[in-house]
């Protein structure tokens, strides 16, 4: 690489860092969860309020496997403000009873990892026994099955 190319490459790198910082508090164009929040990518949405959205994981570990995400793009759970962090777990607590009862689960297991999609998400996984959280996602869920699950869970989560 000659010096001129190096300078151009360096300039581009700096520009994208600046861009990322500017978008941190809103949304990222290439982020699938931001698209789901914006309604430009499909998902089986279950529940939402002003700041958070819950929808079915498209590669569920167990039936009813739900994700809850902040509507604002954050990469890492622990980068969120204290209020946002508390906020997501308060919603997890609100959504646990309806998810537990509609899925006839014994417990709702939680998982936060975040290597798959770079937008904070808490997995809420209906469990009936130990070891289930280690299973690989099922790829064999049809759109009709997702639809049926969403129609079962959604009314329970939105009951006033
Ligand atoms: Zn995002």
17 in a domain, yes or no?
no
Q: Into how many domains does the chain fold?
A: 1
Place of tokens 């014994």: 106
Ion ligand 1 residues within 5 Å by Cβ: 28, 31, 33-34, 73, 119
Residue 87 is assigned to a structural domain of this protein: yes
- Please enumerate in sequence order all residues whose Cβ is within 8 A of that of 56, keeping only pairs 6 or more positions apart, or say none: 43, 44, 46, 64, 65, 66, 67, 146, 149, 150, 153
List pLDDT tens digits, range 39-55: 999 999 999 999 999 99
Mean pLDDT score, 124-137:
88
- Can you give the pLDDT at residue 3? 45
Q: How far apart are the CA of 3 and the centre of ligand 1, in A?
A: 36
From the CA of 36, how far away is ligand 1's center (Å)? 9
In the three-class reduction of DSSP (H, G, I as helix; E, B as strand; rest coil), residue 38 is classed as helix
Domain presence at residue 36: yes
CATH number at residue 128: 3.30.428.10
Expressed in angstroms and rounded, the spacing between residue 127 Cα and the centre of ligand 1 is 27
Domain region containing 111: 26-157
**Residue 27 pLDDT:** 82
Distance of CA 16 from the midpoint of ligand 1 (Å): 16
pLDDT value at residue 92: 98
Per-residue model confidence as pLDDT tens digits over 57-104: 999 999 999 999 999 999 999 999 999 999 999 999 999 999 999 999
């Amino acid at each position: 690489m000659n010096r001129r190319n190096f300078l151009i490459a360096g300039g581009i790198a700096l520009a994208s860092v600046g861009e990322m910082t500017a978008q941190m508090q809103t949304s990222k164009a290439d982020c699938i969860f931001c698209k789901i929040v914006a309604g430009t990518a499909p998902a089986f949405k279950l529940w939402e309020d002003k700041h958070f959205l819950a929808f079915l994981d498209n590669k569920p570990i167990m039936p009813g496997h739900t994700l809850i995400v902040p509507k604002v793009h954050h990469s890492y759970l622990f980068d969120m403000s204290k209020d946002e962090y508390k906020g997501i777990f308060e919603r997890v607590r609100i959504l646990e009873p309806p998810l537990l009862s509609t899925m006839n689960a014994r417990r709702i297991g939680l998982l936060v990892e975040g290597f798959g999609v770079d937008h904070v998400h808490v997995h809420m996984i209906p469990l009936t026994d130990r070891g289930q959280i280690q299973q690989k996602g099922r790829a064999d869920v049809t759109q009709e099955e997702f639809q049926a699950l969403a129609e079962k869970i959604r009314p329970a989560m939105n009951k006033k």
